[in-house]
């Protein structure tokens, strides 16, 4: 719910801070005092188009901050999480308008487009009295209102689950069907490509092994000659080999060690060197013995590498990527070969899901029609109570075209009203009078509000053109709504104001050449005076004060 509204340099407001709470709150004041400013400011918070005309004369920027308690507003929390916005139990929306025409919007300090305000705003506030923000003006939300009233949540979840599965499989079916048109040509090409790669049979580490073997075979003579020279120098030169020299040095050090034991480390190291030379000689002999020129093998390796490179160029991939490509093409070939089987399987599954969906959707339609009759009667009764004698409310449920079916069913649901006898039923969106629209909305909300997810309802112009018993009924309905929701109502009627749980007064103050609007919450005595003013005008008598006190006392007992 809305807990705080802070307005700076907006219209005739220089600075205004309003603390709000739950239940029914009313705003009253003289005509022209600026009661609509609250609605206009909230409209901007909800994403209305910004206009520099809203900026207070002499100021450079207008700013509105609204704080909402969303502890129990699951939809708003989910939206914030999905949009990666920090959230806890509060949501702060800030909107600014600069003189240069630029407008900025922030949600919990994060700058976002105005469209985001509209999306989130629909989950926070529903304004009745102007068409733009009324949720009931939107066909999708009219359907939701009916389903909420009828408690269709379980059926809707089932319908959505089956519908989504149906659409996913149907999309796959269409893709496979489209693929079938090019299937034969693609199948032949894949068959050839896969056979070619099968024949190549490239192994994971083969490229590096072939490269190494090519270098070895291409340089076999050099490797053999160099290895033999190294063996001769290390070991086989009887007169001057490295091994013979080291052996001689070891013998000499062995003799000298008898004279000085400090030569032992050097002797140990050289002894190890002799051992390592022996091991190196063994390794070199094992390497050189089989090493010889092999022209046939060299030719085969070269041809193998040429084949691999040719295929990589042909497929426009790197040689090392041929193995992965082989797997991809083989999988596609397998899919194509099994396409007819899969097509038949999916077609059967799609048919079964469609049948299941139609069954659930048909049940929804039947239950909606039954619930609609019940809701029509209750709302029509409320319309009579609210001064629209002879008015009617009807809900049309028409079938959607097959290609327009939705997760929520196959119905187009429209709210129709006739506010006066003799007038034809027309869509709720075409109701011209703001007062009538507000009262029709009140008649509807009085029935469905307990099932609505929107925590704050605002009514403006709801009392236009009514008085007496009808005005009192408006007040009672608003007060009853306040038991489940936060209700804010701009009113001119003492019958409505007296039934409020909280009362705010809007006043216009003129100081020298400056005019500003202020809003203050009324205490008990101030409230009696305000109700008396609304009853009797400028001059308040004991009788009007007594009447005002009596109205407030009666409301507190209702």
User: Tens digits of per-residue pLDDT, 41-82?
Assistant: 998 998 888 889 899 988 999 999 999 999 989 889 989 998
DSSP for 208-247, written as a single string: HHHHHHHHHHHTHHHHHHHHHHHHIIIII-TTT-HHHHHH
Of 124, 4, 133, 109, the residue nearest 75 (C-alpha): 124
Helix, strand or coil, per DSSP, at residue 511: strand
Does residue 344 lie within any of the structural domains? Answer: no
Predicted pLDDT of residue 132: 56
Q: What DSSP state is assigned to residue 417?
A: E
Residue 356, exposed/middle/buried by CB under 10 A (0-12, 13-18, 19+)? Answer: middle
Residue 29, exposed/middle/buried by CB under 10 A (0-12, 13-18, 19+)? Answer: buried
Number of H helices, E strands in the chain: 18, 15
- Are the C-beta atoms of residues 369 and 394 closer than 8 Å to each other? no
- Are the C-beta atoms of residues 131 and 137 closer than 8 Å to each other? yes
Predicted pLDDT of residue 167: 95
- Are the C-beta atoms of residues 416 and 424 closer than 8 Å to each other? no
Predicted pLDDT of residue 175: 82
Residue ranges for the chain with pLDDT beneath 50: none
The CA-based angle 553-555-558, given to 5 degrees, is 115
Name beta bridge partners: 521.
504
Report residue 423: phi and psi, to 5°.
Answer: -85, 140
Other CB atoms within a 10 A radius of the CB of residue 172 amount to: 15
Does residue 134 lie within any of the structural domains? Answer: no
Other CB atoms within a 10 A radius of the CB of residue 175 amount to: 11
Residues whose CB is less than 8 angstroms from the CB of residue 380 and which lie 6 or more positions away in sequence, other chains included: 391, 392, 393
Task: Looking at 234-294, list the stretches that DSSP marks H as alpha helix, in order from N- to C-terminal side.
Answer: 242-257, 264-288
Does residue 247 lie within any of the structural domains? Answer: yes
HEC per residue, 122-176? CCCEEEECCHHHCHHHCHHHHHHHHHHHHCCHHHHHHHHHHHHHHHHHHHHHHHH
Q: What DSSP state is assigned to residue 437?
A: H
Rounded distance, CA 71 to CA 87, Å? Answer: 10
Tally the domains of the chain: 1
Rounded distance, CA 344 to CA 180, Å? Answer: 12
Predicted pLDDT of residue 375: 95
Of 380, 352, 455, 367, the residue nearest 408 (C-alpha): 367
Report residue 371: phi and psi, to 5°.
Answer: -65, -35
Does residue 42 lie within any of the structural domains? Answer: no
Name the strands in the sheet holding 392-399, side by side, starting at the edge strand that comes first in the sequence: 392-399, 411-418, 426-427
Residues of the chain with pLDDT > 70, as a percent, come to 96
Distance between alpha carbon 481 and the CA centroid of its chain, in Å? 31
Inter-CA distances, 235 with 114, 240, 252, Å: 88, 9, 19
Helix, strand or coil, per DSSP, at residue 64: strand
Q: Is the pTM of this model over 0.75?
A: no
Does residue 318 lie within any of the structural domains? Answer: yes
Distance between alpha carbon 169 and the CA centroid of its chain, in Å? 24
Q: What is the CA radius of gyration of the chain?
A: 44
Does residue 253 lie within any of the structural domains? Answer: yes
- Are the C-beta atoms of residues 392 and 379 closer than 8 Å to each other? no
Task: Looking at 316-448, list the stretches that DSSP marks H as alpha helix, in order from N- to C-terminal side.
Answer: 322-337, 339-385, 434-448
Does residue 189 lie within any of the structural domains? Answer: yes
Place of tokens 């909230």: 42
Does residue 249 lie within any of the structural domains? Answer: yes
Task: Looking at 449-523, list the stretches that DSSP marks H as alpha helix, in order from N- to C-terminal side.
Answer: 468-481, 494-497
What is the domain range of residue 254?
A: 185-337
Rounded distance, CA 463 to CA 435, Å? Answer: 7
Rounded distance, CA 108 to CA 76, Å? Answer: 13
Return the structure tokens found at 309: 């490179």
- Pairing outcome for strands 456-460 and 125-128: parallel
Residues whose CB is less than 8 angstroms from the CB of residue 57 and which lie 6 or more positions away in sequence, other chains included: none
């Amino acid at each position: 719910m809305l807990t705080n509204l802070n307005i700076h340099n907006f219209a005739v407001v220089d600075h205004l801070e309003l603390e709000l709470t739950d239940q029914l709150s009313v705003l009253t004041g003289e005509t022209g005092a600026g009661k609509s400013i609250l609605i206009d400011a909230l409209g901007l918070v909800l994403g209305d188009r910004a206009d520099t005309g809203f900026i207070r004369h002499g100021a450079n920027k207008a700013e509105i901050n609204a704080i909402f308690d969303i502890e129990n507003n699951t939809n708003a929390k989910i939206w914030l999480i999905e949009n990666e916005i920090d959230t806890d139990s509060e949501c702060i929306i800030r909107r600014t308008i600069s003189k240069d025409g630029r407008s900025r919007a922030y949600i919990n300090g994060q700058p976002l487009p105005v469209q985001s305000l509209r999306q989130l705003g629909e989950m926070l506030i529903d304004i009745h009295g102007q068409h733009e923000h009324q949720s009931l003006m939107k066909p999708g939300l009219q359907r939701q209102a009916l389903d909420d009233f009828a408690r269709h949540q379980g059926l809707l979840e089932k319908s959505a689950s089956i519908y989504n599965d149906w659409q996913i499989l149907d999309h796959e079916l269409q893709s496979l069907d489209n693929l079938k048109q090019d299937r034969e040509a693609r199948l032949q090409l894949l068959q050839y490509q896969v056979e070619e790669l099968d024949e190549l049979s490239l192994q994971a580490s083969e490229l590096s092994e072939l490269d190494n073997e090519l270098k070895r075979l291409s340089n076999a003579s050099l490797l053999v000659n160099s290895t033999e020279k190294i063996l001769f120098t290390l070991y086989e030169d009887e007169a001057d080999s490295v091994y013979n020299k080291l052996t001689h040095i070891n013998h000499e050090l062995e003799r000298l060690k008898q004279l000085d034991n400090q030569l032992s480390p050097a002797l140990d190291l050289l002894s190890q060197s002799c051992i390592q030379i022996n091991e190196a000689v063994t390794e070199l002999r094992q390497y050189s013995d089989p090493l010889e020129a092999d022209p046939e093998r060299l030719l085969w390796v070269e041809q193998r590498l040429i084949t691999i490179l040719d295929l990589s160029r042909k497929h426009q991939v790197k040689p090392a990527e041929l193995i992965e490509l082989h797997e991809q093409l083989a999988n596609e070939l397998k899919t194509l070969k099994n396409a007819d089987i899969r097509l038949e399987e999916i077609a059967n599954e799609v048919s079964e899901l469609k049948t299941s969906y139609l069954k659930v959707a048909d049940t929804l339609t039947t239950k909606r029609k039954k619930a609609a009759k019940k809701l029509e009667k209750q709302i029509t009764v409320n319309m009579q109570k609210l001064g629209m004698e002879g008015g009617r409310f009807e809900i049309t449920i028409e079938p959607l075209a097959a290609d327009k079916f939705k997760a929520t069913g196959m119905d187009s649901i429209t709210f129709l009203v006739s506010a006066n006898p003799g007038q034809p039923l027309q869509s709720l969106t075409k109701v011209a009078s703001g007062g009538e629209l507000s009262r029709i909305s009140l008649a509807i909300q009085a029935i469905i509000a307990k099932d609505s997810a929107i925590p704050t309802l605002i009514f403006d112009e709801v009392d236009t053109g009514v008085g007496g018993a009808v005005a009192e009924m408006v007040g009672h309905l608003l007060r009853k709504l306040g038991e489940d929701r936060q209700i804010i109502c701009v009113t001119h009627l003492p019958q409505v104001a007296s039934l409020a749980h909280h009362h705010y007064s809007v006043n216009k103050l003129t100081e020298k050449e400056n005019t500003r609007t202020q809003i203050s919450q009324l205490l008990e005595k101030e409230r009696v005076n305000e109700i008396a003013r609304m009853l009797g005008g400028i001059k308040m008598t004991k009788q009007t004060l007594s009447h005002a006190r009596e109205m407030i006392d009666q409301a507190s007992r209702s």
